[in-house]
Every structure is written in structure tokens, then in C-alpha cells.
Amino acid sequence: MNKRSLLPVLSTALLAPAFLAGQVYAEEATTPAESSAVVATPATSATPAPVESPAVPETSATSEAVAPTEAPTAPAESTKSEEKDTVILHTNDVHGRIVEEKGVIGDAKLATVIEQERAKSNQNTLVVDAGDAFQGLPISNSTKGEARAEILNQMQYDAMAVGNHEFDFGLDEAKKYKEILKFPLLSSNTYVNGARLFEASTIVDKDKTVEGDEFVVIGVTTPETATKTHPKNVKGVTFTDPISEVNKVIEEVQAKARAEGKDYKHYVVLAHLGVDTTTPVEWRGSTLAEALSKNPRLKGKRVTVIDGHSHTVESTTYGDNVTYNQTGSYLHNVGKITYKSRQLLGNPTQIPAADAKKLPANPTVEKLVKDIKQKYDAENAVEVVSNSPVELNGDRENVRVRETNLGNVVADSLYQYGQTGFSHPTDIAVTNGGGLRETIAKGKPITKGNVIAVLPFGNTISQIQVTGQQVLDMFEKSLGSILQVDKDGKKVLDENGQPLLEPSGGFLQVSGVKVYYDTNLPSGKRVLAIQVKNRATGRYELLDLAKTYYLATNDFLAAGGDGYTMLGGAREEGPSMDAAFEEYLKTADLTQYEKINPNSRTISVDSTTFSLPVETPQTNAAASDATTNVPLTYEVAGQFSKKAVVSEKALPNTGSEQSIFLLLMGMVAGLAGILSSRKPKQK
């Protein structure tokens, strides 16, 4: 071999360790693509597909949003009397908040707000709800929401959209709401055997003396319902594309109107879609609003989109005739949109709880609420724990993004039950953060009512047989949300300096397992290592992808809910989750759960400095583990076999002095080799 050929070979040999070291730290295993739980679910990615401006509306952090000063005007209407202002009062995601509390208006004061607005002689008032009205708190759940349906009848709502949680007490109960309610329950895109399950639209005429002031009200439900309620609750139900379905209804309504010689000028779409970044772009309420602003059939007409599902306070306009609104959740506010004569765009405001609190309660609704509460209180006043030594945090923005102490307690109760409650002892227990709905206060008794408030859905414990690969896929799904960003587009970091995930109801709270993950990595490739507790030794051992494990969870997840399609199949059934949770609380040492975000089970780490801990034996599933760190690096993240483990000493670390020296030496040698191998130019 001559010198010219020797130098390139030498440079390659010197460069190889540096590049190989980078590969050891950077390469990730590819997990199987997630299959969808919804028929014809659109493909999603960690970064949503772009939507033409202004598809992502600006969120209003204040209680009021001001309409444009120069509002476009509507065509003149022929009237039999002087045209009045039009006012739309709207609520969404009340979730059973019938009782007035701090920051919660409650139904008795809500009734007064509605009553006072309707009493104003200079306006027509439409009252609507955008879904998720009945389920949420035990006081409403105790009657499967039927008692609140009667309250809504008393308040004389004009229409309501079907939300995903309207199915939480089963399909038969969802159908029963149609019978109880004295106003239309609307969903244009919910089908059973090819027929709509609910009315698609209704025409509301508030003032018979005025021609052309009728409201066309259309309902639409999120296709996420297929995974946002128990799958058994929507068996045989399909949810079609929201935008195409709403446009179809508009076409149907206008065709019928032309045949009758009518022309409707006011369209209200009651949507339960939301603007969560975890929701597919084509299913968001903001995308619907933008699409409606471009529908030529709606040109020159007033279009109001009242949305729910994402629990946001938002007021945005699209084009020159679409007003989009959502009023938060839990009756913290009542939304109000006012249309002045000949204006296409409405003026949206919020009536907050602080203002409603000053009003007198409606006596009829107040008595209904009082009777419901007295019955509920008597049933749920029994103490489970005389005094809680810690706060067990169930805040929505916490349990849906990372490990919490409440999630640990609930998961531990499933794990403990699973040791003797099934034919095989439980290896791993998980529950979804979206199923945890309340915080348990420190320094107060824990009652049966508190237990049910945490777990209001009535889910049962299920155990299924899974492989290690399914466990890995499950946790990649759990940790697959996009990242939170602030108003400046910068990533929101947790207390460990790691990017924080967007809230997702499918985020798993766990027991009997440790999951190390890095949110800096792409969705589907974030899991660095999984350790499963050996019940016999108390040690946490590396997950074996080929091994069979027994997973205890709730029946919602076991059936593939929240998009966990890698689960499912035969399962053993246990008692209700709240019963197991209650039993665990009676004997558990709650002081070990003092830290709200312990980062000890689903463990957020930086993969560039990650070292896998090896645990010393211990037997308490809930207690912290004594650990010794063994520096290990995974050739391929997510591959949990001994062959995948490489000592750091085998190759220089990326960025170390050794790797930098080798890289520079390789570059010099490579350059020298190239120069020496150049031939003289031919003349």
C-alpha cells in the first residue's frame, strides 16, 4: 500500500470512534406505528400539520374580548317591528358543577344570569351549551347526570351539543338524555348503522314578530370520543369528519329553506371539538371556524361557533363573519356574545363567577340543588381517613403531564389489589391521568365522597396479559405528546430543566415500574429504559421485550381507551377502582407521598448524561429506592436486552477531550490524504 492510499485509510480509522460514539448516544429504536382507535382517523405527528392563518386563534387571558371597531355589516332585514340586539349566552364543559363554590357560579346563580338577560326587552336571547354537561363530580354522577338534566330544563336552554362525556354512563344513558331534555341535543356527525344518533340541527325562532331572525343551530362532536370515553360506551357508534359534516348540514338546511321561500341569516354551530394541540388539526374547533369563514354559502351571514372540550377561554374572529368562542370550564364563566343591528361579527364577553356571585339565586333551581346535595352528602360523608397528612394533587395540568403523588397512590392501590385479586400477581399497574379528577386536601378528613371525586367514572380494575414490547409501546404512547410552549414559542421546562409535555388524558401514572424518558427526543423515541419490579427480590430489572407480564389497569385502558390500541384482549375483572383506592387509603402510610412531583417512577432525564440506576432490594412498592448509579449507555434507545448495554469505557463520550482530539487528528489526516492523492491536471 502506497502513502497516498494509506492516509485516507488512517483518517477513517481515526474518525470512526468519534462518529461511533455519537451513534451510541443518539440512535433510537423505531417503535411500531400507532394504529388508530377511530375509523378513518387522520395521521398525526408530534408537530401538527400547518393550517392557513389564522387557524390557531389567539387565546384571551382576560375576561373580555373586544370585537373590531369597524364591524362588517349584515344585509338589511325586513322586519315587522324594530330589530333587537341578539344575545347568545353559552356554557361548556360544566362537568356537573351544580353547586356554587369558590370560583364556580353554580346552577342557581346561572339560572339568575339567564333570567335577567332574557328579561331585557331590547334583545333576543339564545341560551346554549357546547357539551360535557352531566358527568364530572360525584354529586352529578350519583344520578348519572339526570338530575342536572332536569335543572337545565328548568333553565330552559335552547340547544346543547353532545360532548364525549355524554357517553360516560353508557350509550343507553346518552339516548335517555334525549328523552329527559326538553330542548334539542345535537350532533351532526354521530352515527349508528348509518343513521344519525342525535338531531343534526334545529331552528330556533325567539321572536315570531321578526322575519329572518331565526337561528340555525348545528351540533358537532369530537371524533376523539371513540377514545375519550370507555370503548364499550360507543360500541357500534362512528364519528365522521366534523368540518365536512357541518358543511353538509348547512347545505341541507339551505336547500330546504329555498324550497320554503326562506333565507336564514344566523348560524350557530355548537361544537365539542376544542383547540388542544394534542387534537388532530382537522378536528379542532379553530379549524372548523376558519373553514366556515371560507364557505361561500355563508357569505354575508352571521356565523357563531360555540366550542368546548379543551377547557379554554377564547374569543377569536375568522374572516368577516365568523365569531369563535369558548368560555373555559366548570362554570367559572358564562359566555355572552352580543350582535348589534346589521353587524356580522359579535361582541364577545365573559360573565365571571365573581360577578355572578353578587346575584340572588333563582329560588326554584336553588331548591333543586339543595335537595340533590342533601341526599348526596348523607351518602358520602363517611370518613375513610380521619386526617390526610399530605395534599394529593390531582390538578388537570399536573396529572396529565408528569408523575404526581396522587397518581402514585392510585396506581399503588391497583398494584396492591393485583397481588391477590387475580389468578396471577400483578407485575405493573397503570392508570391514565385523565381519569384523576380532584385533589385531596392536606389536614382534612378523606371521605367516601373525596374518593369518588378523584375517581368519578365508575371504572373497574382489569388485568391483562402483555408482552414487554407492548409495555414499551404503551409508554411511548403515554409520553408521545408534543411539548408545551409559552406565548413566545419557547419550550416550558419542568423543575429538572426538561421540556414539559402538553397535557394529555392518556399520560400514565404507574406502580411497580420505572420509566426513564427524555422529552428532548422525538415522539415515539423518548423512552430510554424501563425497569420492572421483581416481586420476589424487590429489585427493579430491565424490561424484557419477549417476556410476558401481567398489567393491572382500569377497564377503560384495558379495552384500548385513550388510543392504547396495543392493549385489549382477554382480561380478568376486579372491583371498582374507587373501592380498591378506598381500601388502600385505610392502611397506607400517606406520609411517603408528601412530594407532589417526585420524578421517581416516570423519570424525566437528559439522555446525553443518562446513567441507568441499579436498585438495592426493597419490598415497599410505594417507598423510594436506594440506588447506585452504573454508567451505561444504550446503543438503541428502547431495546431492553443485555446485548444493548455498552459500557461508557468502550468508546469515548461525545464531546469528551478524547473524542475531540481523535476527530481533529482524523480531519488533518483525511485532508492530507486527499491533497497527496491529487494527480497533475492533464494538458
242 against 682, higher pLDDT: 242
Average pLDDT, the chain: 83
pLDDT digits (tens, 9 = 90+) for 125-173: 999 999 999 998 888 988 999 999 999 999 999 999 999 999 999 999 9
Q: How many domains does the chain have?
A: 2
Q: Which of 312, 344, 374 is the last residue of a domain?
A: 374
Say which range, 218-222, 414-418, 513-517, 636-640, has the weakest mean pLDDT.
636-640
Query: CA 591 to CA 415: how far, in whole Å?
Result: 19
pLDDT of residue 538: 92
Q: CA-CA distances (angstroms) from residue 208 to 83, 121, 273?
A: 12, 14, 32
> Model confidence at 667, in pLDDT bands (50, 70, 90)?
low
CATH classification at residue 191: 3.60.21.10
pLDDT of residue 173: 97
User: Which residue range is the domain that position 601 belongs to?
Assistant: 384-634
Q: Are residues 314 and 344 in the same domain?
A: yes
Per-state percent for the chain, helix, strand, coil, to nearest 5: 30, 25, 45
pLDDT digits (tens, 9 = 90+) for 19-39: 333 333 333 333 333 333 333
pLDDT at 63 over 60: no
Query: CA 189 to CA 244: how far, in whole Å?
Result: 9
pLDDT of residue 26: 30
Q: What is the mean pLDDT of residues 596-612?
A: 93
Three-state secondary structure readout of 567-609: CCCCEEEEEEHHHHHHHHHHHCCHHHHCCCCCCCCEEECCHHH
Handedness of CA 461, 584, 494, 521 (dihedral sign): negative
Query: CA 582 to CA 588: how far, in whole Å?
Result: 10
> Are 308 and 272 contacting, i.e. CB atoms less than 8 angstroms apart?
yes
pLDDT digits (tens, 9 = 90+) for 366-384: 999 999 999 988 888 899 9
pLDDT digits (tens, 9 = 90+) for 256-294: 999 999 999 999 999 999 998 889 999 999 999 999 999
pLDDT of residue 619: 37
pLDDT digits (tens, 9 = 90+) for 202-236: 999 988 877 888 999 999 999 999 988 888 899 99
Host H or E run for residue 540: strand 540-542
Q: Are residues 307 and 422 in the same domain?
A: no
> Are 80 and 327 contacting, i.e. CB atoms less than 8 angstroms apart?
no
| 187 is a domain residue | yes
pLDDT digits (tens, 9 = 90+) for 497-538: 999 999 999 999 999 999 999 999 999 999 999 999 999 999
DSSP string covering 208-263? TTSTT--EEEEEEE-TTHHHHS-GGGGTTEEE--HHHHHHHHHHHHHHHHHHTT--
By C-alpha distance, which of 513, 572, 568, 579 is closest to 227?
Answer: 568
Q: Which of 350, 374, 398 is the last residue of a domain?
A: 374
Burial class (CB in 10 A: 0-12, 13-18, 19+), 78: exposed
| 46 is a domain residue | no
Q: Are residues 391 and 368 in the same domain?
A: no
| 206 is a domain residue | yes
Burial class (CB in 10 A: 0-12, 13-18, 19+), 40: exposed
By C-alpha distance, which of 295, 288, 334, 439 is closest to 90?
Answer: 334
| 201 is a domain residue | yes
By C-alpha distance, which of 403, 522, 477, 367 is closest to 32?
Answer: 477
pLDDT of residue 29: 33
| 288 is a domain residue | yes
Query: CA 215 to CA 267: how far, in whole Å?
Result: 6
User: Which residues of 416-507 form beta strands (DSSP E)?
Assistant: 428-432, 446-447, 460-467
Q: Are residues 394 and 355 in the same domain?
A: no
Q: Are residues 152 and 199 in the same domain?
A: yes
Q: Which of 347, 374, 401 is the last residue of a domain?
A: 374
- For residue 620, the tally of other CB atoms under 10 A from its CB is 11
Instruction: Give per-residue burial for 249-275: e unless 16+ CB within 10 Å, then b.
Output: bbeebbeeeeeeeeebbbbbbbbbbbb
> Model confidence at 82, in pLDDT bands (50, 70, 90)?
low
| 136 is a domain residue | yes
SS3 128: strand
Q: Are residues 316 and 225 in the same domain?
A: yes
DSSP string covering 443-464? TSPEEHHHHHHHSTT-PEEEEE
Query: CA 183 to CA 198: how far, in whole Å?
Result: 12
pLDDT of residue 122: 86
Residue 157 amino acid letter? Y
By C-alpha distance, which of 674, 678, 680 is closest to 12?
Answer: 674
> Model confidence at 664, in pLDDT bands (50, 70, 90)?
low
Say which range, 307-311, 349-353, 376-380, has the weakest mean pLDDT.
376-380
| 63 is a domain residue | no
Place of cell 357500534: 236
Host H or E run for residue 322: strand 322-327
CATH classification at residue 532: 3.90.780.10
> Are 662 and 12 contacting, i.e. CB atoms less than 8 angstroms apart?
no
Q: CA-CA distances (angstroms) from residue 322 to 158, 268, 290, 523?
A: 21, 10, 8, 35
Give me the percent of the chain exceeding a pLDDT of 90.
67
Q: Are residues 283 and 426 in the same domain?
A: no
- pTM (predicted TM-score): 0.65
Q: Are residues 357 and 486 in the same domain?
A: no
pLDDT of residue 72: 61
Q: Are residues 546 and 457 in the same domain?
A: yes
| 621 is a domain residue | yes
pLDDT of residue 115: 97
Q: CA-CA distances (angstroms) from residue 296 to 54, 57, 291, 549?
A: 18, 22, 10, 56
Q: Are residues 303 and 178 in the same domain?
A: yes
> Model confidence at 620, in pLDDT bands (50, 70, 90)?
very low
Q: Are residues 199 and 259 in the same domain?
A: yes
Under the phi-then-psi rule, with left for phi > 0, alpha for psi from -120 to 50, and beta for the rest, what region is 46?
A: alpha
Q: Are residues 473 and 367 in the same domain?
A: no
